[in-house]
């Protein structure tokens, strides 16, 4: 097992109060599914394994989700919504310049909550399993298109503001592929590097296109 940095084994959580809300129970089961996907992979994840990881009965998992397919689909949607909300929140807090927004968007990918071993490996389970791809494209395609369009708009503005001579579609694609590739790298390396090193890798890519605005540590003269 690789670390993606060290996947926690699916030990049961501390039990919630017996009268925990339906929504809180569902979230508990989704978090248990994320951990189970990280440890066992897509094909070997079962409702029984998720119940064990959550410290709940199989019947309760079945009550909330009915089928494994529905459980996995809702887990994927949870991850997709969490990812979208994370980068949108980062942009909302960034300054108005294109460079500040690109810095915020790239840092969001390596936020401690998002870029953590279980979530990275769960994402890879969905990406790597053929039977999950139609579900991924149906449920996450619009999120991917929104992110790509947002990144392209930021890069287009930065190219104009900085007087750079690059094709925006090419720049956008390379930055996106590098960021996604670093995520994958973190799950497959026998000795994964830190999130700080992952960010340096992505910012080195940004520096190659936008040297007036970025170095390997991010935005030049970034406000502290």
Query: What is the model's pLDDT at position 221?
Result: 83
pTM confidence score: 0.85
DSSP state of 6: T
Query: What is the model's pLDDT at position 1?
Result: 35
Cα separation of 128 and 41, whole Å? 9
Tokens coding 85: 């909300």
Task: Name the percent of the chain lying above pLDDT 70.
Answer: 89
Tokens coding 31: 């978090």
Residue of 84, 64, 86 lying closest to 76 (CA atoms): 84
Query: What is the model's pLDDT at position 224?
Result: 63
pLDDT in tens, 6-26: 444 455 554 544 445 778 888
Cα separation of 108 and 199, whole Å? 10
Query: What is the model's pLDDT at position 141?
Result: 85
Give all domains of the chain, ordered by start, each with its CATH number. 70-219 (1.10.357.10)
Query: What is the model's pLDDT at position 7?
Result: 43
Mean of pLDDT over the chain: 88
Q: Pairing relation of β-strands 214-215 and 218-219?
A: antiparallel
Residue of 197, 45, 175 lying closest to 115 (CA atoms): 197
Low-confidence residues of the chain: pLDDT under 70: 1-20, 130-131, 223-224
Cα separation of 109 and 137, whole Å? 20
End-to-end CA distance of the chain: 38
Residue of 73, 189, 186, 75 lying closest to 121 (CA atoms): 186
Tokens coding 173: 């694609």
3-state SS record for 198-218:
HHHHHHHHHHHHCCCCEECCE
125 torsion bin: left (phi>0), alpha (psi -120 to 50), beta (else):
alpha
Cα separation of 60 and 25, whole Å? 9
Reported as type and span, the H/E element at residue 17 is none
Cα separation of 143 and 75, whole Å? 15
pLDDT in tens, 48-93: 999 999 888 888 888 889 899 999 999 999 999 999 999 999 999 9
Query: What is the model's pLDDT at position 4?
Result: 43
């Amino acid at each position: 097992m690789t670390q993606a940095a060290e996947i926690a084994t699916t030990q049961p959580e501390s039990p919630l109060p017996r009268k925990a809300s339906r929504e809180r129970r569902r979230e508990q089961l989704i978090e248990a599914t994320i951990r189970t996907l990280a440890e066992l992979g897509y094909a070997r994840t079962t409702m029984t394994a998720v119940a064990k990881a959550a410290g709940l009965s199989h019947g309760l998992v079945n009550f909330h989700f009915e089928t494994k397919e529905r459980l996995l689909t809702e887990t994927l949607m949870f991850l997709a919504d969490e990812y979208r909300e994370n980068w949108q929140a980062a942009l909302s807090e960034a300054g108005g310049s294109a460079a500040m927004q690109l810095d915020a968007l790239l840092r969001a990918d390596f936020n401690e909550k998002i870029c953590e071993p279980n979530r990275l490996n769960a994402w890879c389970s969905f990406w790597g399993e053929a039977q999950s791809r139609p579900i991924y494209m149906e449920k996450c395609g619009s999120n991917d298109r929104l992110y790509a369009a947002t990144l392209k708009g930021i890069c287009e503005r930065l190219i104009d503001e900085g007087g750079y001579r690059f094709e925006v579609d090419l720049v956008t694609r390379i930055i996106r592929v590098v960021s996604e590739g670093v995520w994958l790298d973190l799950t497959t390396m026998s000795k994964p590097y830190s999130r700080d090193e992952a960010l340096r890798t992505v910012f080195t890519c940004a520096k190659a296109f936008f040297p007036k605005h970025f170095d390997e540590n991010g935005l030049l003269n970034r406000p502290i």
